[in-house]
Amino acid sequence: MAFDSKIPKGEMNEKWNDYKGHVKLVNPANKRKLEVIVVGTGLAGASAAASLGEMGYKVKAFCFQDSPRRAHSIAAQGGINAAKNYQNDGDSVFRLFYDTVKGGDYRAREANVHRLAEVSTSIIDQCVAQGVPFAREYGGLLSNRSFGGTQVQRTFYAAGQTGQQLLLGAYSALERQVALGNVTMYARHEMLDVVMIEDKARGIIARNLVTGELEKHFGHAVLLCSGGYGNVFYLSTNAMGSNVTAAWKAHKKGAFFGNPCFTQIHPTCIPVSGDYQSKLTLMSESLRNDGRIWVPKNKGENRKPVDIPEEERDYYLERRYPAFGNLVPRDVASRAAKERCDEGYGVGTTKLAVYLDFADAILRYGKIEAGKMGDHSASEAALIQLGKEVVKEKYGNLFAMYEKITGENPYDMPMRIYPAVHYVMGGLWVDYELQTTVKGLYALGEANFSEHGANRLGASALMQGLADGYFVIPYTLGNYLADEIRTASISTDHPAFVETEKAVKDRIDTLLNIKGKQTVESFHKRLGLIMWDKCGMARSEKGLKEAIEQIQALKKEFWSDVRIPGEANGMNTELDKAGRVADFIELGELMCKDALVRNESCGGHFREEYQTEDGEAKRDDENFSFVSAWEYVGESDWKLNKEELTFEIVKPTQRSYK
Amino acid sequence: MNLTLKVWRQKNNQSEGSLETYQVKDISSEMSFLEMFDVLNEQLILSGGEPIAFDHDCREGICGMCSMHINGRAHGPWTNNTTCQLHMRAFKDGDTIVVEPWRSKAFPVIKDLTVDRSAFDRVIQAGGFISVNTGNAVDANSLPIDKKDADDAFMAASCIGCGACVATCVNSSAMLFVSAKVSQLALLPQGAPERESRVLNMVAQMDKENFGNCTNTYACEAECPKGISVANIARMNKEYLQASLTTES
Ligand SMILES: Cc1cc2nc3c(=O)[nH]c(=O)nc-3n(C[C@H](O)[C@H](O)[C@H](O)COP(=O)(O)OP(=O)(O)OC[C@H]3O[C@@H](n4cnc5c(N)ncnc54)[C@H](O)[C@@H]3O)c2cc1C
Ligand code: SF4
Ligand code: FES
């Protein structure tokens, strides 16, 4: 099977320009004859579908929610990076590129990351032109803030609702194309398989989630923009419906799966409170601009946080990482929180939490505000009041969200937070053109194995999703479709469509006929626990081997004892969920296998056997400087292919934030 | 706590629905309302029944998918709140809770508590955008925007498209939703070129979709989880009037 990353030759900063200058083009008349299927309408899918529609392709877009506007991207909070250097603080395309390669712990492909940094600036321009209301300064210009792993302010934001605003921008562009007839939208549809004709992806089978009918759709190319699979852990910050099904079906049809074990555990989430819990809520990384993280210096501390004096607090990130302090990258911050809690310094009823404290920031902002008003004798209470207003403007929606869930007011009391599964760097392996190892099948956004290596920096997923959709795929897809202009639309009566549809139908019938005793939800929870305990923040050979056995046993049990009420011919939310959980179970096994062969620690992948004396991740560039690209062979059987990574510009060193 | 639930069950769009009564036990006050529904659904499945279909996804108040009418109020008893953000501490042991879908001609019931809100997408298709193709944009900072206008545009843009405004309105009017989008784009200079056609087309589509007229009861603002202000309706009315005057020929 073809396995070539297709990185263009030439200087790093010329590769993309050069590629664009030489890529094959499709003329307007031919574009109208070419059909493109886009699965997913998050930032990646909506931006791709809209842009391809504008270019004149005939696009069909799919999402499982009731409207494209509700894709999981809507929930992104903190912001989006771009190398605009509007703050004049030394930012540049090179620095964003460098930070991303380093932040990813040298497990990303340099050429892709460089392209991402290059197009980042156009994303902001495009979004502003669409009417995305980013935060602004009094002079009317755009405002920025900092995110982890960087020393510049390059993050653009719209309060704590950046994903919402960016997605609504892309959604409006998409709906405009729908109105113009260039895009046909299929909401409440779930793609359940890829249709292959000879060695090319030629369409999909989708289930209409309202009527239950299976539908066959032809496309000259299929783009998977189906998001991440963090929900394999059951509890995560992802939306309830986020799943791996689209990517998994593609994998089983020949698309290699890249770095499946690379998971991002986000340091600041609202802790688990009970076993009824259905999901976890993120408290955006942007809060670490102003919040200080600490635990008490004494084990078993029982006082309220506000009553613990300054000298009895351990601001452990500032202590361990003075150069980056509270803004160390996510993997580092998460592990540090786990370390403190494992050592017995955790807070709250479960002792699995640390404090995120805004008291200092509130006072600091209060002083600035009072200073602006020329009031130099304001009381502390007055300063706090003024400071709270500033903090409210910056993070109001996050604070309100926190209060609704916990019933506590974070303006007066530090937040309690703990790491939670948030994002996956792993995904379908793609080449420089975002094409998977299956011809005509592309993966964009979180669904691909991405530019983030072993750890993604904050505010870079939104950037990557929109880069892929607005600025990369419109070029690279043409390079494939230019050779397809003679392929007439293939009838969905073609045997390949009929057979694939039948296979999908058989699987649904099998699931419904098990009529066992246990609910889908209970299987999902059990899978999640295995994954979190053994393939979560810390992994070991022993644990991973146990996990693989447990998952295989769980799979057997699922296929013999799951209970799915209702029928296939109508809306059946349990059936939808069952199909997704069945795929998660298979994916879980592959993730453990991947974590098991990677005998090193890098980024979010922390193998207990491989750490430095002070507990930092110990990479092994000699043996593991590669992307694992797993090829599906058969049930519980995969072949590992390696894409060796070479670093021309950013020479790997031990990542230090000290 | 133990609770009695009366929940709207309806097999599909063709069938008649009715309220069914269920009991749930040992509900923790820390659970979210939808987690309580998860408990009920597990109970239903294990006892051989069919779970209740309801829309939800993000469970953090931003996707706009959840949509339950709880004890006569869209999204339940808390203000500025979505169904998924409602927590069980809002209720007490022994309470009876009545849960129904959004009720509006424009939002037909699909199943149980799930309704079809695609009318909102069609209203956006009619003009809720700025016509700028990918790659056509100028540098973002070449267009300074007054902070107040930008902030107001953001406030309007924070509508999550949930439809609570429609569900709560005696007339099933969609004015709050439509005016939020019209306002956002009217407040920004980028929206200026299409200002008139936008408001006329969106309002025309809104009427076509069977949403009712606005009679200024302001129930929408009171129930909107994002606190979208009725000032947007006033702005849209002004925009509409101006557009109707200038486009008359
Ligand atoms: C709470 C939270 C906050 C975040 N904040 C930030 C942030 O501040 N900055 C940042 O850069 N990143 C952030 N991220 C990460 C970022 O939001 C995601 O990585 C990104 O939005 C993913 O976009 P996407 O377009 O790839 O996929 P998604 O937005 O997940 O969209 C997936 C789409 O695929 C569709 N789909 C999936 N499977 C199927 C199927 N089988 N059939 C049909 N349709 C299907 C869905 O309906 C949906 O439309 C955050 C993530 C979370 C969880
Ligand atoms: S205006 Fe408010 S109630 Fe209406 S759809 Fe928007 S967020 Fe929901
Ligand atoms: S589920 Fe997303 S807003 Fe309630």
pLDDT average, residue stretch A470-490: 97
Range from A192-196, A621-625, A651-655 carrying the lowest mean pLDDT: A651-655
Based on its alpha-carbon atoms, the radius of gyration of chain A, rounded to whole angstroms, reads: 24
pLDDT tens-digit series, residues A367-384: 999 999 999 899 999 999
CA pair distance A241, A231, nearest whole angstrom: 8
Q: Please, which pLDDT band fits residue B248 given cuts at 50, 70 and 90? A: low
Looking at the structure, tell me whether residues B106 and B156 fall in a common domain. Answer: no
The reply to whether ligand 2 has any atom less than 6 angstroms from the CB of B155 is no
pLDDT tens-digit series, residues A217-258: 999 999 999 999 999 999 999 999 999 999 999 999 999 999
The reply to whether ligand 2 has any atom less than 6 angstroms from the CB of B128 is no
Mutate to test the interface with B, among A128, A236, A511 (most CBs of B within 10 A): A128
More confident residue, A3 or B19: B19
Whether A610 has a pLDDT exceeding 80, the answer reads yes
Q: What is the DSSP string of A574-597?
A: HHHHHHHHHHHHHHHHHHHHHHHH
Q: Which helix (H) or strand (E) holds B52?
A: none
Looking at the structure, tell me whether residues B220 and B156 fall in a common domain. Answer: yes
DSSP secondary-structure letter at A168? H
pLDDT tens-digit series, residues A414-459: 999 999 999 999 999 999 999 999 999 999 999 999 899 999 999 9
Looking at the structure, tell me whether residues B126 and B178 fall in a common domain. Answer: yes
Whether B249 has a pLDDT exceeding 60, the answer reads no
- pLDDT at position A150 is 85
pLDDT average, residue stretch A190-201: 98
Range of B238's domain? Answer: 117-246
- pLDDT at position A160 is 87
Whether A1 has a pLDDT exceeding 80, the answer reads no
In three-state secondary structure terms, A428 is strand
Looking at the structure, tell me whether residues B49 and B140 fall in a common domain. Answer: no
Instruction: Please name which ligand lies nearest the alpha carbon of B165.
Output: 2
Looking at the structure, tell me whether residues B127 and B237 fall in a common domain. Answer: yes
**Which residue from A282, A286, A289 is spatially nearest to A266, judged by alpha carbons?**
A282
Looking at the structure, tell me whether residues B125 and B227 fall in a common domain. Answer: yes
Instruction: Please name which ligand lies nearest the alpha carbon of B86.
Output: 3
Name which of A125, A210, A239 is nearest B138 (Cβ-Cβ): A125
pLDDT tens-digit series, residues B121-170: 999 999 999 999 999 999 999 999 999 999 999 999 999 999 999 999 99
**For ligand 1, mutation pick of A43, A65, A67, A73 (most atoms within 8 Å of CB):** A73
The reply to whether ligand 3 has any atom less than 6 angstroms from the CB of B232 is no
CA pair distance A361, A390, nearest whole angstrom: 10
Pairing between β-strand A221-224 and β-strand A562-563 as defined by DSSP bridges? unpaired
ipTM, two decimals, is 0.98
Instruction: Give yes or no for a contact between B62 and B160, defined as CB atoms under 8 angstroms apart.
Output: yes
CA distances from A31 to A15, A27, A221 (A): 26, 6, 12
Range from A61-75, A336-350, A504-518, B174-188 carrying the lowest mean pLDDT: A336-350
pLDDT average, residue stretch B14-28: 97
The residue written with tokens 């042991």 in the block is B93
Q: Please, which pLDDT band fits residue A2 given cuts at 50, 70 and 90? A: low
CATH number of the domain enclosing B57: 3.10.20.30
Looking at the structure, tell me whether residues B70 and B190 fall in a common domain. Answer: no
Looking at the structure, tell me whether residues B131 and B163 fall in a common domain. Answer: yes
The reply to whether ligand 3 has any atom less than 6 angstroms from the CB of B57 is yes
pLDDT tens-digit series, residues A273-322: 888 999 999 998 889 989 999 999 999 898 999 999 999 999 999 999 99
Whether B247 has a pLDDT exceeding 80, the answer reads no
- pLDDT at position A393 is 86
List, in sequence order, the alpha helices (H) in A92-161.
93-103, 110-129
CATH number of the domain enclosing B137: 1.10.1060.10
In three-state secondary structure terms, A28 is helix
- pLDDT at position A521 is 98
pLDDT average, residue stretch A584-593: 98
Based on its alpha-carbon atoms, the radius of gyration of chain B, rounded to whole angstroms, reads: 20
Rounded to the nearest integer, the mean pLDDT of chain A is 96
CB contact under 8 A, B50 and A566: yes
Cα angle A529, A331, A329; round to 5: 150
Whether B104 has a pLDDT exceeding 70, the answer reads yes
How far does B153 lie from chain A, in Å, by closest CA?
Answer: 6
Domains within chain A, CATH numbers bracketed? 12-262+425-481 (3.50.50.60), 265-421 (3.90.700.10), 515-619 (1.20.58.100)
Looking at the structure, tell me whether residues B97 and B198 fall in a common domain. Answer: no
Looking at the structure, tell me whether residues B105 and B125 fall in a common domain. Answer: no
Enumerate residues 6+ apart whose C-beta is below 8 A from A357.
A291, A292, A293, A294, A305, A414, A415
Whether A550 has a pLDDT exceeding 60, the answer reads yes
Cα angle A125, A128, A130; round to 5: 110
- pLDDT at position A507 is 98
Among residues B92, B111, B130, the one where a domain terminates is B111
Q: What is the DSSP string of A322-334?
A: TTTGGGS-HHHHH
Looking at the structure, tell me whether residues B141 and B63 fall in a common domain. Answer: no
Among residues B111, B140, B163, the one where a domain terminates is B111
Looking at the structure, tell me whether residues B143 and B216 fall in a common domain. Answer: yes
Could you give the number of structural domains in chain B?
Answer: 2
- pLDDT at position A286 is 86
With beta carbons under 8 A apart, name residues in chain B contacting A124: 140
